[in-house]
Amino acid sequence: MSDEARDAVGEYRYGFHDPEVATIRFDKGLSEQVVRDISALKNEPEWMTELRVKAYHHFVERPMPDWGNESLLNSIDFEAVTYFLRSSEGTERDWDDVPEDIKRTFDRLGIPDAEQKWLGGVTAQYESEAVYHSIREDLEAQGVLFLDMDSGLREHPEIVKRFFNTVIPYTDNKFSALNTAVWSGGSFIYVPKGVHVEMPVQAYFRINAKNMGQFERTLIIADEGSSIHYVEGCTAPTYSTDSLHSAVVELVAMDGAKIRYSTIQNWSSNVYNLVTKRGVAHANATVEWVDGNIGSKLTMKYPAVILKGEGAHAEIISVAYAGEGQHQDAGSKVHHLAPRTTSNILSKSISKNGGRSTYRGMLQVRPKAEGCRSKVVCDALMLDADSRSDTYPTMEVGNASADLEHEASVSKIAGDQLFYLMSRGHTEAEAMGLIVNGFFEPFTRELPMEYASELNKLLEIEMEGAIG
């Protein structure tokens, strides 16, 4: 990397970018023809093509949301985005077969290393499609399907057709419509009845080209009594022009199943990260979102759980770090539709150097949801006077037997805590770093160990220069 490039990249750890090697690159801009071309290129069944086209028209007709950070949302130029770029011919199954430059990128991210050590499987998505996919043989023998979404549609169309677009229909919001129209890549997982995937499976998404849109679509189905932990990480290099990441993630936990979905989003500070994530939990099932937002220019992401079956449970733990020029508009939604459903929501945010963090939550109890319980806790730390923290929770309670609690607080780092640590020999910056790590600890302890240590390192980098 040249000095000039290094200067441009600045502090962003994953801000390196390889020369872009595209085998297929669409012109910028979006039209019905682009949507049809993407579908044709992938040889998709007709129902998918028609779904894409309907979603495209809905996207065009639907106005931009008039809430949240409207000025940033309205600055997105959809005609300046490349909607499809294929970096590699087909999805490889052997790491050695992946093109050298792409492999170099992922080597720097540590993906094969992680896989060898402990991960159940890996999908790496570079631009629009998965370039490398692997799954441990024992999982395959148990009938676990872990494919990139394009292969999932090709090889298991009956499962995809049954669940795709059911948890998050394209009419849900403008960006779910956009994703349904132009989706490419993402993960498809099916865990058969009673199978417990002991090791986490992992996907990594990376945007390398500038003005690139990445629209992965992930569908995870855990059949009755099964369980899985899926881990997702995202990065992008720093360019002077903006990129758009608009994913849709649908989770279906059948009776007694458990899905945990962990994300650490570390997009560079020119990426618009507008993501819709939602899970459905049937009777006695559990859906857990563990959601970290460190990077991006604007994130709007509210992982949701629909508690549809009696005794279902939702757990959402999220952290957000908003540095200079960043707006982390994140939160959570839980809809209690069935009796005796329970949920816990914990949200932590830090604002620094003029960053803005927003918690936007919805907790809804429908009239038939007898005997529900829920607890919501939101804590925000402000590290300087230029930053901002907002909390917009909504509780809608339509059943008298519900027992709900919500509490939130905004504060700065306590002087006595800093003083205590500094009296033990830490510098002010170290003391502040320790307090921040402790503040995020309820989140990091839920992550696999290597991700937890990765997050702590990222926070250390972000915290550099926090003093003075």
Partner 1 sequence: MSTAMEDPSSAVHLWRSTPWSWMRPEDADSTAVRMVLHDAAGSVSLNEGSPDLFPVVVDGPETTLPDVDDIARHTLADLDTAPMHLSLEGHHEEVVNVDLRAAGHVAVGRLHITCKGQAVVHLHLSGDAGWCGLHLTGKVANGSHLSVVVTDELHLESRVVRCDDWRVGRDATFETGTLSVGGFRRKSDLRHHLDATGGNVRIGLAVHGQGTRHDDHHVEIHHHVGHTSSSLVANVACGGRSRSVGTGRLVIDAGADGTDAGQVFRNLLLSQGARADAIPELEVLADDVSAAHGAASASLDEEQLHYLMSRGLGPEEAAAMIVEGFLADAFRPIAAAEARRTLRDRLTVHLDCARIT
- Which residues here bind partner 1, judged by CB under 8 A? 66-67, 365, 367, 380, 382-412
**Token pair of 362, please?**
């919805």
Closer Cβ to partner 1, 245 or 348, answer by number: 348
CA dist 375 → 340, 366, 401, 407, 409 (Å): 14, 16, 15, 8, 15
Shortest distance, CB of residue 370 to partner 1, whole angstroms?
A: 9
Of 89 and 324, the one with the shorter C-beta distance to partner 1 is 324
Strands (E), 267-372: 271-281, 286-293, 298-301, 304-307, 313-322, 327-336, 342-351, 356-365
Least distance to partner 1, CB of residue 419, Å? 16
Cβ(183)–Cβ(191) below 8 Å: no
Q: Are 266 and 294 in contact (CB under 8 A)?
A: yes
Nearer CB in complex with partner 1: 99/354: 354
- For residues 279 and 277, what is the distance between their CA atoms, to the nearest angstrom? 7
**CA nearest 180: which of 88, 80, 250?**
250
Instruction: Rank residues 69 and 142 by Cβ distance to partner 1 and give the closer one.
Output: 69
The least CB distance from residue 152 to partner 1, in Å, is 36
Residue closer to partner 1 by CB (options 51, 383) is 383
Least distance in angstroms from the C-beta of 349 to partner 1: 11
**CB 171, min distance to partner 1, A:** 16
Q: How many CA atoms lie within 13 A of 88 on its CB side?
A: 22
Which of residues 153 and 345 has its CB atom nearest to partner 1 in the complex?
Answer: 345
Element (H, E) at 160: helix 157-163
Q: What is the radius of gyration, based on Cα positions, of the chain?
A: 21
CB 164 → partner 1: shortest distance, Å? 29
